[in-house]
Amino acid sequence: MIIRQYRSQFIEKLSPLYGVDEAESFFYLILENKHQLKRVDLALQPDLVFSEAELLVWNEIKRQLELEIPVQYLLGTTHFYGLDFKVNKNVLIPRPETEELVEWILEGQKKQETSRKIKILDIGTGSGCIAISLAKNIPNAQVFAIDVSPEALATAKKNAELNEVSVVFLEKNILETLDLEQEFDIIVSNPPYVRNIEKVEIKKNVLQYEPHLALFVEDDAALIFYIKIAQLAQKNLVSNGQLYFEINQYLGKEMIELLQKLDFKKTELRKDIYGNDRMVNGSV
C-alpha cells in the first residue's frame, strides 16, 4: 500500500480518540522510528509503499493505540531535553513540564559562573531523564540518582549508557532513609504527587498503563514525599545549596508554606507552559 494512503486511514481511525493533530504526530513518530523516514521524505517520494509485512506491524501498533497504550511504550523510546530515552511500563513517560524543571536548574548553574565540581542528587529518578539531562549539560557535576524500583533503575542505567554520561544509581526507599550520607549542591525531585481524588482527571492511557508507584499518593498524605525530602535536604545540602521540586499544580501555596516552615530561603514558585503551578525552589 502507498504510505500516503495508509497515513490517511491511520489518522481517520485514531482521530476520534486522540484528535487529528495527535493522530498525525503518532504516524510520523512511528514512521521515523520504524523506517527512518520523515514527513519531508513522503513529500519528496509520494509513491513510497509499505510491504505486506510492514502493514502487519503498523496494524498491530494501530490496534494497541486504539487501546490507548502510550505510543512511547509501543516504540520503547521518547525524547526529553534533546536526548533519547528508553521507556517501558516500569517508568513514567517524561513530560514537557519536567523539561522546564531541568531548564530552571541549568539557568541557576549558568548564573554561578564557576567550574568547581558540584554534586547533584535526583530522588525518584525513574527513567533517569532529570539526572541524565543534568549530567549531559553540567560538565563539572557528579550526579547521583535514587529510586525505589530496581526495574526503573535498570532502565535508567541503560539510558545513561545511551546518552554517554556517568550517573551513580542507588536503590533506596527515600521514605525509609534517615540520612543521605553526603552533602549535595543541588537536590531535585519529581516524586509521586497525584492524589487519588484527582484520578478522574487522569487520561486512560496514563491511568491504565503508567506505573502507579511513581504517580499516586494518598489524599491525606499528599506531601509525604516532599516533607521527607525537604527534611533530608536541610541536613544534606551545602550552604546555599538548592532544592528543586516538581509539584502538584493544586498545591503550590502549600509547598511554599512547607519550605518556609522548614526555614528554606528565597523560595520561589513557578508555573509551567500550561499556566499551572508546577515547580518550587528553595535554598538552605
* 165 shares a domain with 221: yes
Q: Does 52 map to a domain?
A: yes
* 172 shares a domain with 229: yes
Separation of alpha carbons 69 and 37, rounded Å = 23
Domain range for residue 145? 78-283
Classified as helix, coil or strand, 49 is strand
* 121 shares a domain with 246: yes
* 219 shares a domain with 97: yes
What pLDDT does 165 receive? 98
The separation between CA 176 and the C-alpha centre of its own chain, rounded to angstroms, equals 24
Q: Does 73 map to a domain?
A: no
Where do we find the cell 510520523? Answer: 28
Separation of alpha carbons 255 and 252, rounded Å = 5
CB 17 within 8 A of CB 10: no
Residue 114: pLDDT over 80: no
Claim: this prediction has a pTM higher than 0.85: yes
Nearest to 138 by CA among 169, 158, 153, 117: 117
Separation of alpha carbons 58 and 34, rounded Å = 9
* Boundary of a domain, candidates 45, 67, 89: 67
Q: What is the pLDDT of residues 225-243, one digit of tens each?
A: 999 999 999 999 999 999 9
H or E stretch covering 58:
helix 52-66
User: How many degrees, rounded to 5, is the angle at CA 91 between CA 25 and CA 176?
Assistant: 150
- CATH number of the domain within which 148 lies: 3.40.50.150
The Cβ-side half-sphere exposure at 56, using a 13 Å CA radius, reads: 3
How far CA 1 is from CA of 102, 176, 263, in Å, comes to 43, 57, 65
Cell digits of residue 152: 526503573
How far CA 275 is from CA of 12, 44, 100, 185, 271, in Å, comes to 31, 39, 12, 29, 5
Q: What is the pLDDT of residues 136-163, one digit of tens each?
A: 999 999 999 999 999 999 999 999 999 9
Mean local confidence (pLDDT), 15-34: 95
What pLDDT does 195 receive? 86
* 138 shares a domain with 208: yes
Rg (CA), the chain: 21
What pLDDT does 113 receive? 62
